[in-house]
Amino acid sequence: MKTLVIALQKNDQPISATFELISAAQSLGGDVCTAVLAADAEALAGTLVSRGSGTTLTVSNPALQYFNDEVYAKVIAELIKKHSPDLILAPATFYGKALFGRLAGMTGGAMTSEATGLALEGDSIVVTRPCYGGSVVARVSAKAGGPYFVTVRPKIFPEAKEGSGELVAETVDAACFESGAVVKEVKSESGGTINLSEADVIVAAGRGIRGEENVAMINELAGSLNAAFGASRAIVDAGWTEYKFQVGQTGRTVNPKLYVAVGISGAIQHLVGMRSSQYIVAVNKDKDAPIFNIANYGIVGDLFEVVPALTAKFKAELA
Ligand SMILES: Cc1cc2nc3c(=O)[nH]c(=O)nc-3n(C[C@H](O)[C@H](O)[C@H](O)COP(=O)(O)OP(=O)(O)OC[C@H]3O[C@@H](n4cnc5c(N)ncnc54)[C@H](O)[C@@H]3O)c2cc1C
């Protein structure tokens, strides 16, 4: 059994989900390989090796500086041909999903997205994933022998902390680096310094906040907890905040340790994006709001009283 982890990067550093994928691969036993594609892949690979990335295949080329699914897919397809992994893992992010859809098509491999569990049962790789908005959990299996592409939800597996590995510099056909589209520059999103998908704590606001002017109050609560800001679609559609903060079926899927839902009713389309959070706290003035059905803790009250009180308490306790 050989598992290949695709190490995606941001700002010349491996993203934290990469370390989670390494620990997922380790948990299956067998050989762990990691592919690092970058302008200078060796520079990036050092941290990975010290945290157990196993045989770490590096491909360096200026064309790999920014994510380009066409170029990345061609390079990874060559690595797969050469190293024959049974299972290939990437994070279930926009990039991971774009890449694996393309790769599965190119190689004829199977693909499963949004995995929340991985196991080896006999000679089958069994993936657990939520379906139908999380109301059922599917077990999808594929015989080892691959290639089997699986994107894994961030924040499910713990990060690999230590381990070993070796660097292997790979050369691939120069045609792999050619693409119809060239990414010349990537600009970071402004505002919201904590990435929603990677956040341990999220404070999310819904229509109950009444207007754009009250987003700042929710952001202050988020700041007191060192949390990321999230939003329901209702307030994105109303133009009170940006789409990048939207959680749910047509927004982001998040999986933090703590999700605080403020003035959010708990519509199914919102729940599918956050119901797997470890702890859910809801603040709502309606004691029958559906969000309370999945909340671990609920505060029935007016958010305009509850939120400032919580913010003051957290600032005092956590300062
Ligand atoms: C195809 C499709 C896709 C969708 N995708 C998404 C998605 O990705 N994400 C998403 O969020 N939604 C999505 N929706 C919309 C979803 O159905 C809901 O309309 C939306 O989630 C409601 O947002 P909300 O909870 O903020 O607003 P509301 O449902 O209006 O709830 C507001 C809540 O605030 C409470 N409240 C009001 N005043 C106060 C107060 N002073 N103090 C405390 N509580 C108060 C109310 O009791 C209420 O429960 C989608 C819908 C469709 C059809």
| Per-residue pLDDT tens over the stretch 107-144 | 999 999 999 999 999 999 999 998 887 778 999 999 87
Express each pLDDT in 271-305 by its tens digit.
999 998 999 999 999 999 999 999 999 999 999 99
Phi/psi class of residue 192: alpha, beta or left (left: φ > 0; alpha: ψ in -120 to 50)?
Answer: left
**Ligand 1 proximity of 246 Cβ (cutoff 6 Å):** yes
The response to whether residue 214 sits with its C-beta less than 6 Å from ligand 1 reads no
As a whole number, the mean pLDDT across the chain is: 93
- What pLDDT does 58 receive? 98
Domains belonging to the chain, first-starting first, are 2-177 (3.40.50.620), 196-318 (3.40.50.1220)
Contact 160, 51 (CB under 8 A): yes
pLDDT at 143: 85
Mean local confidence (pLDDT), 202-218? 98
Could you tell me the pTM of the whole model? 0.80
Nearest CA residue ID for atom 29, ligand 1 = 265
Closest listed residue to residue 78, CA positions, set 46, 101, 103, 49:
103
What pLDDT is recorded for position 196?
86
d(CA 33, CA 147): 14
116 lines ligand 1 (CB under 6 A): no
Q: Are 212 and 240 in contact (CB under 8 A)?
A: yes
pLDDT at 12: 83
Q: Is the CB of 286 under 6 A from ligand 1?
A: yes
Percentage of the chain exceeding pLDDT 70: 98
Least confident range from 69-73, 140-144, 223-227: namely: 140-144
Q: Is the C-alpha dihedral spanning 187, 101, 37, 17 positive or negative?
A: positive
Does residue 289 have its Cβ closer than 6 Å to ligand 1?
A: yes
Report d(CA 163, CA 261) in Å as an integer. 38
- Say how far apart CA 145 and CA 100 lie, in whole Å: 17
132, 202, 236, 264: residue to mutate for ligand 1 pocket, most atoms within 8 A of CB: 264
| CA-proximal residue: ligand 1, atom 50 (nearest) | 269
251 C-beta closer than 6 A to ligand 1: yes
pLDDT of residue 135: 76
pLDDT in tens, 16-28: 999 999 999 999 9
Contacts of 116 (CB under 8 A, 6+ apart): 128, 129, 130, 137, 152, 153, 156, 276
φ, ψ dihedrals at 29, nearest 5°:
75, -175
Average pLDDT rounded to a whole number, residues 71-76: 98
User: pLDDT higher for 38 or 192?
Assistant: 38
Nearest protein Cα to ligand 1, atom 27: 207
Q: What is the pLDDT of residue 246?
A: 96
Say yes or no to pLDDT of 252 above 80.
yes
215-224 and 303-318 helices cross at what angle (nearest 10)?
30
- Give the pLDDT score at 191: 55
* The pLDDT value given to residue 270: 96
Tens of pLDDT, residues 184-207? 888 876 555 677 888 999 999 999
Give the per-residue pLDDT at 190.
59
Question: Strands (DSSP E) along the chain, which ranges?
Answer: 2-7, 9-10, 13-14, 31-38, 54-60, 87-91, 110-115, 117-121, 124-131, 136-143, 148-152, 165-169, 201-205, 228-231, 258-262, 279-284, 297-300
56 lines ligand 1 (CB under 6 A): no
pLDDT at 159: 94
